[in-house]
Amino acid sequence: MKKKILAAFMAAAMVAGMSAINVAAEEEGGDVITVGFSQVGAESDWRTANTESMQTTFSEENGYELIFSDAQQKQENQLTAVRNFIQQEVDYILLAPVTETGWDTVLQEAKDAEIPVIIVDRMVDVSDDSLYTTWIGTDSLLEGRKAAEWLNAYATAKEIAPEDLHIVDIQGTIGSTAQIGRTQGLEEGVEKYGWDLLEQQSGEFTQAKGQEVMESMLKKYDNINVVYCENDNEAFGAIDAIEAAGKTVGTDIAAGEILVISFDTTNAGLTNVLEGKIACDVECNPLHGPRAEALIQALEAGEEVEKLNYVDEEIFAFDDTVASVTAVNSLDEEGEYAVTPITQEIIDGRAY
């Protein structure tokens, strides 16, 4: 029996020893800024690009030490990770929350420890806004408005009357930030220009559901000529449904082609733009690293930072009919945004 106890202890010691191996690599730096980043997970290409952006920005060469923690889609893992960051006395905490709710307690702990918290991507719903320092993310409403303005400019250039634009809207998962903003952008366009919005239905951001919704809409209406998909995956499904119904996707509305507008600009999405299947694709930029670094540098210098920070996002179209659009962002600032005609080089040169 004693031998077995001994064996058990040795095995345990080995496990402990294994964790010791990694340590030799750790070095103590003078003015290295330590950043703890708790990420949602690795569920999509967008998320992976978001993580990689942070990792390349907060690298050792740039004078940072990044402690990265993948929450595997669980909020309780993030609570634990943030508590660990606090004990590790990181200089900044980056938190891409799994959920909007449930952050009061742990953010209070971070505040008590005087560690600034930068929220990334999704917003947090807390009783006191001072619990986090600032937020970085995408502007879904601006994305929607950009798409609507592009459609208006395109229709004007092609001399298509607004009432001849028969639009269906395949919405994202109802209640998500992206769905709310992008739907609102389209609805404002309908209001402003008098388009014919036939129907709105959720495709839940998936290809399968997007296809299903498009199929049913094609059966209901025979005059659809614009499909507004709230992400690329829905667009892929919609394109499949349109082609299966014997119609063609494209940009020549007068010739009976159906024009597809989409969001996210994933690699596959942009390839579809290049092929002319998606007419316009508005970016949802996952590269938050540089913006996060700029904020941290500002905080290091003791400057005040804005509470809400939107990352820059581009617009890609299949051709150069529309050179730029003017739209208002969520902070009520009007801006002019260039529309980039897509090329293979652009697709190859992108980080995600």
Partner 1 sequence: MKAKSNVQKKKMTNTGLLLVITIALFFIMYAAGMVVFADKGFAKPQMFLNLFVSNAGLLVISCGLTIVMITGGIDISVGSVTALVCMVMANLMENHGVSAYVAVLIALVIGLLFGIVQGFLVSYMGIQPFIVTLAGMFFGRGMTAIVSTDMISIKNEVFLKWANFRFYMPFGSTNKKGTFIPAYIPPTVVIAVIVVILIAVLLKYRKFGRKLYAIGGNRQSALMMGLDVKKTMFKAYILDGFLAGLGGFLFCLNSCAGFVEQAKGLEMDAISSAVIGGTLLSGGVGTPIGSMFGVLINGTISSLITAQGTLSSWWSRIVLSLLLCFFIVIQSVLASASAKRKK
Q: Which CB sits closer to partner 1, 100 or 252?
A: 100
Q: Which CB sits closer to partner 1, 81 or 280?
A: 81
Find out whether 137 and 122 touch, Cβ atoms under 8 Å. Answer: yes
Nearest-approach distance from CB 124 to partner 1, in angstroms: 9
Nearest-approach distance from CB 22 to partner 1, in angstroms: 5
Q: Annotate 293-313 with b (16+ C-beta within 10 A) or e (fewer).
A: bebbeebeeeeeeeeebbbeb
Q: Which CB sits closer to partner 1, 3 or 219?
A: 3
Tell me phi and psi for residue 24, to 5 degrees. -55, -30
Which residues of this protein are in contact with partner 1, per CB under 8 A? 1, 4-5, 8-9, 11-13, 15-17, 19-20, 22-23, 26, 28, 65-77, 79-81, 83-85, 87-89, 99-105, 108, 113-114, 125-127, 175
Find out whether 161 and 215 touch, Cβ atoms under 8 Å. Answer: no
Nearest-approach distance from CB 332 to partner 1, in angstroms: 27
Q: Annotate 169-203 with b (16+ C-beta within 10 A) or e (fewer).
A: bbbbeeebbbbbbbbebbebbbeebebbbeebbbb
How long, in residues, is the chain?
Answer: 352
Nearest-approach distance from CB 206 to partner 1, in angstroms: 17
Residue 88: is it exposed, middle or buried by C-beta count within 10 angstroms (0-12/13-18/19+)? exposed
Q: Which CB sits closer to partner 1, 27 or 336?
A: 27
Nearest-approach distance from CB 284 to partner 1, in angstroms: 21
Radius of gyration of the chain, Cα coordinates, nearest whole angstrom: 24
- Cα dihedral value 260, 263, 266, 269, nearest 10: 0
Nearest-approach distance from CB 56 to partner 1, in angstroms: 14
Q: Which CB sits closer to partner 1, 176 or 262?
A: 176
Q: Which CB sits closer to partner 1, 101 or 297?
A: 101
